[in-house]
Amino acid sequence: MSTNYQEVIKKFALAHKDVVVFTAENRAVVRELPAILQDRFIDVGITEQNMIGMASGMALRGRIPICHALTNFLLFRAYEFIRNDVGIAHLPVKLSGWIPGFLSDGNGPTHQSLEDVGIMRLIPGMQVFCPSDNEDMCMMLEQIWSSPHPSYLRVNPRPAVVEHKTPFEIGKAETLFEGKDLTILVYGFLLEEVVLAREILEKNGLSVGIVNMRSLEPIDVDLIRSLPSKTKKIVTVEDHFGVGGLYSIISEIMTRHQIMMPIQSISMGNRWFKPGLLSEVLEYEGFTGAKLAERIQKEL
C-alpha cells in the first residue's frame, strides 16, 4: 500500500466537512494539512488539555475532532479531560498518539508511554487500536474515524513485514499463522520481531502461530476463546507494562469464561525501558526476534 496516514486523513477530511484536525505542536504526520484544511486545522501549541477541551466542545456540536500529539503528553497530561469531557459524555473524539511504547526509543521515562493501553481501556466506551505497521494502520483509519465512539490509536508508520490479507474490522484480530505448539499474540510494530522469532522457533521444530491483535478494545473474544482447541500455549508480546495491556486482557477473558491454559507474558513488567536507538532498546530489553525466541524456548 503506497498511501500513508496523512493521505488518508486528507481524503477523509475533504470528504467529510465535519472533520476538524487538531495538533498540540506536533505535525510530524500531518505536516501538509494546514494549507489544505485551513480553518479546519488547529494547532493549540503545547496545551494538550486545551486541545481535548476544544475537541470535546466541537464534538458536542456535531464535529469529528482528530487530535494529534506525542502519546505521553496526549494521554497523561490531558487524562482528566479525556476521561471527563470525552469519556463520560461518550463523544467521538479521535486520539492519535505519536511515538508510543518503544517507538519513543531515545527518550527517558517522562516521554515513554508503556501504560497507554491500560489507562485508555479503563474509560468506558473508549476504543483502542494498535496497528502493526503503516499498511495495517491505513486499512483501519476510516472505520475508526467513522465510528460514533471515542478512540485512541497508536500511530505506527513503519513499513509492513507481512501481507495483510484479512480486511480490518473493529473488534477483530488477524490470524497470520496457525500454530499447534504455541500462538503468539502481539500488537504494534513488535510484529516485526515476532515474525523473526517464529522463523527461529519453527527451525527448532515448533509449530508457531501469530495473531495480530490490531483491535484491543473491543477485542476479538471469540478468537481468544477458540485458542485452547487450536494451540497448546499462548504467548503475549507487548511494549507495555505487564499490567493493563494485552496479557491482562487475555487473562481477564480466560478467567471470565473459565478457560485454563498456559500463558506467557513478555512485556516490560513494572519498569520503564533504557533509552537508546530502537535497535539498542530491543536488544537490551530482550525484544529482538532472536531474544524473543530464546525467552519463549526457555519457558517451554
pLDDT in tens, 134-169: 999 999 999 999 999 999 999 999 999 999 999 999
Burial (CB < 10 A; 0-12, 13-18, 19+), residue 3, is middle
Mean pLDDT of the 256-283 span: 97
**Band (25; pLDDT cuts 50, 70, 90):** confident
The pLDDT tens digits for 50-96 are 999 999 999 999 999 999 999 999 999 999 999 999 999 999 999 99
- Looking at the chain, which runs of residues are DSSP E strands? 19-23, 41-43, 64-70, 94-98, 127-129, 151-154, 174-177, 182-186, 208-212, 215-217, 234-237, 263-266
Dist CA 182 CA 151 (whole Å):
31
Is the pLDDT at 26 greater than 90, yes or no?
Answer: no
CB under 8 Å to 159, separation ≥6 — which residues?
Answer: 133, 134, 135
- Whole-model pTM: value is 0.96
The pLDDT tens digits for 200-238 are 999 999 999 999 999 999 999 999 999 999 999 999 999
pLDDT of residue 28: 82
User: Which amino acid does the sequence have at 120?
Assistant: M
Is the pLDDT at 130 greater than 70, yes or no?
Answer: yes
Identify the bridge partners of residue 128 per DSSP, sorted by sequence position.
152, 217
Dist CA 213 CA 169 (whole Å):
11
Alpha helices by DSSP H, 92-242 = 116-120, 134-146, 191-203, 221-226
Is the pLDDT at 1 greater than 70, yes or no?
Answer: no
Is the pLDDT at 2 greater than 70, yes or no?
Answer: no
Is the pLDDT at 21 greater than 90, yes or no?
Answer: yes
Mean pLDDT of the 179-197 span: 98
CB under 8 Å to 90, separation ≥6 — which residues?
Answer: 124, 125, 149, 150
Helix (H) or strand (E) holding 105: none
Identify the bridge partners of residue 23 per DSSP, sorted by sequence position.
43, 68
Mean pLDDT of the chain: 96
